[in-house]
Structure 1
């Protein structure tokens, strides 16, 4: 999630707003060592928000340069003039570094 936020140029609060979940929930998820834990509804909201913001989640075994898991910008996302990603979805106006 940190990598996705970095690609989008948003903070935890902005991601929480996009997903409709609380900041403490984002903080707990990001503090997870390996597997992100949460109820199914919360995880689905988070994935849907990342997808709408232009983030593609790379699952293990999917095509990636290193063959591992991670995130990347979808091909329809263009960098903005400020250097942050500008996905097709509207992001909150607060663009503080992660």
Structure 2
């Protein structure tokens, strides 16, 4: 479960890093396509049920995305460093 506040912009940026469509995110997270579309139509923090946001974040993290919290330099996303 994520305690990190994640924004819709971070979700969209994470999808872009992975080259995922909204359908891909829905499939990988177990969240319906209409829900992903509805959430991404908004701005700000991920709304809706906490379980939905957790599922989206977990799917993106499992695929290799790291969410960067607001730490004075701005929130963001990046690919995790691969282990050798």
- Report the number of matched residues: 73
Q: Which runs of 5+ in 2 are unaligned?
A: 1-10
Which TM-score applies when normalising by structure 2?
Answer: 0.79
Which TM-score applies when normalising by structure 1?
Answer: 0.68
CA distance in 1, matches of 2:68, 2:48: 19
1:56 aligns with 2:66: yes
Greater helix content: 2
Find the structure with the greater CA-based Rg: 1
1:30-73 CA distance string (max 9 Å, x none): 112212202011111111101100011111117xxxx1011111
- Give 4+ residue runs of structure 1 displaced > 4 Å after superposition: none
CA distance in 1, matches of 2:64, 2:13: 13
Match of 1:75 among 41, 56, 81: 81
Q: Which runs of 5+ in 1 are unaligned?
A: 78-98
